[in-house]
Amino acid sequence: MTSLDAKKAAKLRQALTAAGEELYALVQDADMEVLRATLKNQQLTEDHLLTLVKRRDLSEDLLKATHQHRHSADSHRLKLALAQNPATPGHLMQTLLPQLFTFELLNLCVLPGTTSDQKLAAERVIVQRLPTTPLGTKMTLARRGTALIVGELLKEGDTRLLDACLASPRLKEAAIFQFLNGARATAETISCVARHPRWKNRPNLQMAILKNRKTPSIWYTVLLPRLKPTEIRQLQTNPNLSPVQRNLIQDEMNRRQKRSP
């Protein structure tokens, strides 16, 4: 046996028998075989495992083995640390994420180093929980959530959440457009979008507002004068408009004709 092999064998024996601070040093070792040996050490504690899992250079096999360790079954801290490790494989994430609290999932979405797959998986778990999520938690999610989460909250059409959603810097115009064309938009929520300082001047949203049968008449008075003639004609072809809305469009066309030389 060479001196190198002897040193390796000695370190592996040490990994199996060490305790305390010595074991903390070993879970920082660069050799993956040494790390696997530490997992068999009966002196290994939850805190040792946390130190190990926080490393960003671990292999998928080692992370799987850590997840299978007896301490991981009952340790929320370890489950969270595993979920936060960008090298944790997807099938383990599917097991871990449903066991995390909602705001832990939200933090995972914005944690530096989180992969796009991890972020999307965490977002999906949050969205799946929304039907049973308390209003106070939804308010926080509306303020702090990702574009996907805020968009899903907007779709609910809850007037208590609407202002927080519309004020979110992460909300996308496309999500509002979909909401305005959806079944849950109401006269009140449409008006909230129409008067919001950030969204009221968006041409696509203005047209979506005018095409909605539930839009209050006041917004026709405000928005129709801003439209081009081609947009007015396009609006006239919308089969979903109410008779009152059609009359307001015709009135606008009549006024324009009177002003024409």
Dihedral (CA of 170, 172, 176, 182) sign: negative
Residue 184: name the closest of 159, 221, 217, 149 by CA: 159
Residues of the chain with pLDDT under 70: 1-4, 260-261
Q: In this predicted structure, what is the pLDDT of residue 172? A: 97
* Region for 113 from its dihedrals, namely left if φ exceeds 0, alpha if ψ lies in -120 to 50, beta otherwise: left
116-169 confidence digits (pLDDT tens): 999 999 999 999 999 999 999 999 999 999 999 999 999 999 999 999 999 999
List the structure tokens of 60.
């998928």
Q: In this predicted structure, what is the pLDDT of residue 121? A: 95
Dihedral (CA of 197, 199, 202, 208) sign: negative
Distances (CA, A) of 209 to 14, 32, 162, 233: 71, 60, 16, 16
**CA 212/CA 206 separation, integer angstroms:** 10
List the structure tokens of 111.
């944690």
